[in-house]
Structures are given as C-alpha cells and as structure tokens.
Structure 1
Amino acid sequence: MMPTLHFITHPEVVIDPSVPVPEWPLSPEGVRRMNLALENPWMSRLGAVFSSAERKATDAARLVADRFGLQPVIVAELGENDRSATGYLPRAEFEATADLFFAHPERSVRGWERAVDAQRRIVAALERVMAEAPGPGDIAVISHGGVGALFLCHLKGVPISRAEDQPGTGGGCVYSFNIATRALITGWHLIED
C-alpha cells in the first residue's frame, strides 16, 4: 500500500482578541475532537507528523505524536496566510475578508499575504515534507483551513477558490491523498469520522 498524506486542520481554539492569533491554543472541545480522531484506524498507520508553528497546530500535533510515539516536526511555511496586517477580526469581518482573499488571489487584501504567494509557499513546504519524511508509514500534516484549501486547489489543478475550503466553521477536518500519485483518496471530512 502506497503511503498517504493526511492533511488535518486543527479543531476549535480559544479565541482571545487580546492574544496574537498564532498563539491561540486548542479549546477543550478541540482537544476532545482530536482525542476522538486518534481512535480512527488510519491514525495508527502514521509514521511522521508535521505541523505549522502556530500553537493551535502544535497542540494538535503533540496529541498525535504522544499517542503514537512520534516526534512532531515544525515547518513554519505550513502556517496560515500572513494576516498580521489586520490581526484579529470579528467572525463576520474575517469571513468577508477571507472571501476576498480567495476571490482575488493576485491581490493583497487589507495587507494580507496574497493567495498566490501563500499557495507557492505551501506547495513547496508540502513537497519538502513528502520528500524528507522519515521511514515508512503515512504522514500527518496538521495545519490550517486556508492552507489546506490552497493546497487542495493545487492538487486538483483548479484555480484558487474558497470552494475548496474545509466544511463547517470550527475546523477539525481532514483530506487524504496518495503521496506517489497525488491522487485524492478522500475529500474533506470531519477528523472524528
């Protein structure tokens, strides 16, 4: 069986406007959902776990690594698109800005990293992860919804679009693809399913 890469988005976080977004931890609900995900049979086939440097992703990666005796590898380039120009935005304003980010990938929306630049960075990081992953087994990459959407557009060979974003609003989704062929095995679904 060919190795698989499972792209996992961190689940729910503690939203605190007074704390920089990259430092938000998983919430108790996020931890609960990650623990449910660890019971999935595909998790036991992991041979490596990588994550972005943002705390919500490293929290989730640590849960996976601890369960399966792995050492998580942090890859800063797997971080969400740079949104430091705006920092925290209330949900409705964030969603409207994210819609513009995906709709105008060649443009910086409100000072955010351009979607085309973020996608280029993410594709290079994931190619490096797949080339450097140690030993046998599947790979888990724990990152963010926007990162997953941009890479999924690349995998499918389609233009950047929010149509490829994870379902729902809380995060905690996964899609999987064959590392050798880059063919999707599953589309987005909840991590505990």
Structure 2
Amino acid sequence: METARPVPLWRLSAIGRGRVEAMRAKPWLGTLSRIVASAETKAVEAAAILAAHLGIPMNVVEEMGENDRSSTGFLEPAAFEAAADRFFAEPEASWNGWERAVDASRRIVRAVDGALRDHDPERPILFVGHGAVGSLLKASLAGRPISRVEDQPAGGGNIFAFRLSNRQLLCDWTPMEEFEGVRG
C-alpha cells in the first residue's frame, strides 16, 4: 500500500500486476472489443496491460471512479473495513465526509450506461475499476439494495459478468485470474 499517496493514485502492486498478467492467457479475453477503466491509477494500469495485449481500445471514464473518500485519506485496514461497513450499511449517509453510497451508485450506473449507449451489445466489453464501483454496480444491476453483501471478497481483484442487452447478472464475483467467461 502506498499510504502517503491519495488512494486514487495507488499503483498496481507486484501481486496485482501478476494477477492481471495471468488473465492474458484466458481465451474469453479474446472476445473483448473494448476496455473501459475508471481514472484511478490501478484501474488504468490494469486496463492498459490488457488492452495492449489484445490490441483493442481502452477508454478512461472519470465518472466510473471509486467513492470519494478523500476527506479521511488513508485508513489502516481495520479502520477502513469498519468505514466500508458503514458506507454500505447507511447508503443515504456520508461517513466522515465520504461520498454517499447512493450518490456514488447513481454516478457509476450513469457512467456505465453512457459507455454502453452506442456500444453493440453483442460485442463484449470489460469495465475495470476499484472495489466499491463493482459492488455498487452489481447491486443496481441485480435490483437489490446497496449492501456489503454485494461486495467482492476481501483482497479485491474479482470479476462479475452481466449481459449487455438487458443488464442481467450472469455470474457472481470470481477471482480475475480464475474467471473463465460465461455463456449467455
């Protein structure tokens, strides 16, 4: 962890980079037509590795960013987990100045919808972002309330899939280097 840097500027760790590089061997990646990343450094680095490998375009969408938690800066892991519990448990409230979960969710869903507006739903696309981005998007797609239940397993680096044409979830969180794609 780069505790002296703002969270959006954290870089991929050696482990994270290795996990992304391991994905390059997965056949499902070859079906992608485009990659969209949030503007956080980790997300851009991961997306760039895959886009370069595949020779496909990569777009950065600022609005797809993680919930704004700059008011507190870095929190030690135990404190962060307690704060994240509150973020998800009280989505209408701002914990210590953090962006509210309901606001972050609306922003992220708008960003994903915008990225898909002129995109052929038959051409798979990969969205790359931080943890809460996927958790909030997943809850919205499933029509379920914002909850930590939708969060990816500890450690991050997971994938879920949804059908582009109707936004139906196709699978739950899976470690990215183990994901084998989905049919449907």
TM bracket (short chain): over 0.9
Higher RCO structure, 1 or 2 (CA under 8 Å, sep 6+): 1
CA distance in 1, matches of 2:88, 2:104: 11
CA RMSD of aligned residues (A): 1.3
Q: Give 1:181's aligned residue.
A: 166
Q: Write the mapping of 1:1-193 to structure 2, written as runs, cut at 5 A.
A: 15-133=1-119, 137-167=123-153, 169-193=154-178
Q: Tell me if structure 1 keeps the 8 A contact 2:19–2:177.
A: yes
Q: Tell me if structure 2 keeps the 8 A contact 1:50–1:73.
A: yes
One-letter amino acid of the counterpart of residue 174, structure 1: I
CA distance in 1, matches of 2:161, 2:12: 22
CA distance in 2, matches of 1:73, 1:38: 19
Gaps of 5+ in 1: 1-14
Per-residue deviation, 1:31: 0.8
Structure 1 stretches of at least 4 aligned residues deviating more than 6 Å after TM superposition: none
Per-residue deviation, 1:134: 7.1
Q: Give TM-score scaled by structure 1 length.
A: 0.89
Q: Give 2:181's aligned residue.
A: none
Q: Give TM-score scaled by structure 2 length.
A: 0.93
Per-residue deviation, 1:75: 0.2
- Percent sequence identity over matched residues? 45
CA distance in 2, matches of 1:186, 1:37: 18
Gaps of 5+ in 2: 179-184
Per-residue deviation, 1:137: 2.4
Determine helix, strand or coil for the equivalent of 1:132: coil
Q: Tell me if structure 1 keeps the 8 A contact 2:31–2:124.
A: yes
One-letter amino acid of the counterpart of residue 136, structure 2: L
More strand by share: 1
Q: Deviations over 1:13-60 (max 9, x none)?
A: xx1111111111101111110011121111110000000001000000
Count of residues in Structure 1 that have an aligned counterpart in Structure 2? 178
